[in-house]
């Protein structure tokens, strides 16, 4: 099945017509500033456009259509109510620069969201402006730098990152003008404390950690890690990618972290949207309060208002033209209110139950764990190195074949230090039946690998396309349609 490009549906002179002004005047633009030839936009009817994009949507896997156990991404169900109530006309039609007196309703939602996020993370302040996890990370490292600088401590330019860290961590440190020092993990998945002790010093700005780590296990000696880094004068950054594992159970603030970013599009169930929009709200401890990115919502007991550079003169500044991904924040707000006080811990409990159950079933079915003997957090790692050795099939082959069985593939080849790995995160919203079906598919695929490895190499067979030539994509670059 292939859907033509929208440009191939286009015919000169055709248009949808109902959506633009009927009697538009000719544009009053000086000759030298005027556009001479029309842009290549499609000329299609409304039905053609609707049918084309509806068909395109049907070529996707999504949470609404498939189990999506993508490790480190928390692909849980996105409640429809969150979308509907974020799209109410009063919120949707409001200009971000309209007077605060005309936006008390939305500001109250955002203020209460800040307060709820403070409570679940154990931090003292929250700024909602970062527009994705990576921007939250940027804000976090920038605040750490601003803190050291404000103390006249200019030598602290090094950020420590475990080797298992998400790629955004080292990239963020570089964007903030820091250097990166990687430290190794122990065979059981914990941080190597001796290596950490040897790495910290007067050059240490801080350490970026996620807990549970990207290896899927809880860093049990986190207080010692915090002690070592704090004693050396550094600060601790919590990458909230894995907050779903500990929500309502343990708070980053209580573990000793100074700053955290939360992926609201993971833990708080806002949609991933095919690659955004996300939201990377940041939480800070007492000492980083003055440096939070602006604007932040303030409340004086009567009115809600935006606090900006005037209120927070030491702020790291502004990370978006307005106030971040507001609509995403509203969705997270609705989600948190629907879960309520009694629902927060259920998220981590059932995410962890599902992960440990799936891990137990896959182990019982003969798959090898990367970190046996550890509890899974909300995700765990299977290594297919035995299958690679015995059948010549890779983790990628399993991943592609899973698509034929109607499952989105788990995360493959991350973390980079585990060979032939699948990082599997089922989330709390999946049923036992779905998890059992996934185990059955994995077992069936292994049987196929044994009997006919070439079959796996050729997968997938039932999707709109088979495996794509990535090398050709990069070498013979075709990134924009050229009309014939």
Q: Rule CB under 8 A: which of 181-200 touch another protein?
A: none
Q: Which residues are registered as beta bridge partners of 381? A: 423
Which one of 232-240, 241-249, 281-289, 447-455 is the stretch in contact with another protein (CB under 8 A)? Answer: 241-249
196 or 226: whose CB is closer to another protein? 226
Footprint on residues 262-321 left by another protein (CB under 8 A): 265, 269, 271-278, 293, 309, 316-321
- The token pair at 51 is 């049918």
Say if residues 260 and 238 touch (Cβ distance below 8 Å). yes
Hey, CA dihedral for 326, 79, 140, 422, is it positive or negative? negative
Size of the site for another protein (CB under 8 A): 203
Footprint on residues 437-456 left by another protein (CB under 8 A): none
Which one of 2-10, 383-391, 417-425, 442-450 is the stretch in contact with another protein (CB under 8 A)? Answer: 2-10
Residue 332 touches another protein, criterion: CB under 8 A: no
Closest CA to 128 of 289, 236, 262: 262
Angstrom distances, CA of residue 455 to CA of 61, 176, 405, 413, 417? 22, 47, 13, 21, 27
Q: Which of 67, 111, 126, 135 binds another protein (CB under 8 A)?
A: 135
18 or 302: whose CB is closer to another protein? 18
185 or 269: whose CB is closer to another protein? 269
Q: Which of 69, 140, 283, 324 binds another protein (CB under 8 A)?
A: 324
Closest CA to 129 of 312, 257, 402, 400: 312
151 or 389: whose CB is closer to another protein? 151
Which one of 41-49, 193-201, 284-292, 296-304 is the stretch in contact with another protein (CB under 8 A)? Answer: 41-49
Residue 89 touches another protein, criterion: CB under 8 A: yes
Q: Which of 6, 195, 369, 443 binds another protein (CB under 8 A)?
A: 6
200 or 245: whose CB is closer to another protein? 245
Closest CA to 463 of 412, 416, 394, 407: 407
Q: What angle do CA 93, 95, 101 make, to 5 degrees?
A: 100
* Residue 179, CB-side half-sphere exposure with 13 Å CA sphere: 8
Residue 96 touches another protein, criterion: CB under 8 A: yes
Taking the complex as a whole, the smallest distance from the CB of residue 13 to another protein amounts, in Å, to 9
Residue 88 touches another protein, criterion: CB under 8 A: yes
Say if residues 315 and 145 touch (Cβ distance below 8 Å). no
Taking the complex as a whole, the smallest distance from the CB of residue 184 to another protein amounts, in Å, to 15
302 or 465: whose CB is closer to another protein? 465
Closest CA to 245 of 332, 353, 363: 353
- The token pair at 393 is 């099939």
Q: Which of 144, 176, 205, 441 binds another protein (CB under 8 A)?
A: 176
Tokens 């970013």 correspond to: 261
89 or 301: whose CB is closer to another protein? 89
Cα 335 to Cα 266: distance, rounded to the nearest angstrom: 12
Say if residues 357 and 439 touch (Cβ distance below 8 Å). no
348 or 383: whose CB is closer to another protein? 348
């Amino acid at each position: 099945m292939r859907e033509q490009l929208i440009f191939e549906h286009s015919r000169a002179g055709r248009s949808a017509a109902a959506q633009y002004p009927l009697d538009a005047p000719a544009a009053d633009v000086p000759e030298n500033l005027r556009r001479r030839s029309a842009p290549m936009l499609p000329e299609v009817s409304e039905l053609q456009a609707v049918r084309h994009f509806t068909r395109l949507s049907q070529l996707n896997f999504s949470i609404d259509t498939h189990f999506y156990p993508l490790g480190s991404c928390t692909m849980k169900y996105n409640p429809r109510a969150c979308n509907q109530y974020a799209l109410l006309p009063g919120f949707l039609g409001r200009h971000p620069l309209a007077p605060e007196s005309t936006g008390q309703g939305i500001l109250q939602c955002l203020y209460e969201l800040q307060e709820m996020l403070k409570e679940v993370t154990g931090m003292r302040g929250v700024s909602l402006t970062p527009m994705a996890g990576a921007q939250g990370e940027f804000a976090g490292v920038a605040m750490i730098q601003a803190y050291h600088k404000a103390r006249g401590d200019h030598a602290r330019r090094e950020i420590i990152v475990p080797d298992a860290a998400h790629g955004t961590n080292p990239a963020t440190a570089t964007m903030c003008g820091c250097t990166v020092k990687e430290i190794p993990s122990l065979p059981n998945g914990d941080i190597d404390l001796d290596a950490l002790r040897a790495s910290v010093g007067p050059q240490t700005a801080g350490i970026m950690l996620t807990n549970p780590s990207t290896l899927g296990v809880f860093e049990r000696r986190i207080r010692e890690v915090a002690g070592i880094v704090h004693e050396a004068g550094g600060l601790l950054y919590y990458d909230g990618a894995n907050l779903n594992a500990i929500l309502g159970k343990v708070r980053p603030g209580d573990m000793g972290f100074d700053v955290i970013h939360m992926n609201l599009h993971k833990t708080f169930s806002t949609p991933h949207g095919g690659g955004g929009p996300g939201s990377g709200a940041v939480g800070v401890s007492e000492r980083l309060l003055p440096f939070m990115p602006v604007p932040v919502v303030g409340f004086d007991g009567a009115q809600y208002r935006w606090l900006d550079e005037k209120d927070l003169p030491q702020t790291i500044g502004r990370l978006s033209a307005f106030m971040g991904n507001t609509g995403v924040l509203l969705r997270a707000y609705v989600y948190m209110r629907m879960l309520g006080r009694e629902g927060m811990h259920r998220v981590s409990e059932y995410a962890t139950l599902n992960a440990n159950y799936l891990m137990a079933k896959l182990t019982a079915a003969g798959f090898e764990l990367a970190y046996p003997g550890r509890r899974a957090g909300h995700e765990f790692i299977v290594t297919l190195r035995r299958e690679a050795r015995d059948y010549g099939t890779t983790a990628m082959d399993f991943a592609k074949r899973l698509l034929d069985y109607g499952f989105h593939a788990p995360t493959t080849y991350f973390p980079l230090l585990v060979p032939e790995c699948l990082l599997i995160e089922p989330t709390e919203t999946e049923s036992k039946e779905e998890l059992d079906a996934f185990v059955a598919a994995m077992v069936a695929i292994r049987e196929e690998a044994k009997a006919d490895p070439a079959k796996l190499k050729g997968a997938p067979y039932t999707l709109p396309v088979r495996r794509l030539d990535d090398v050709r994509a990069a070498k013979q670059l075709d990134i924009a349609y050229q009309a014939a």
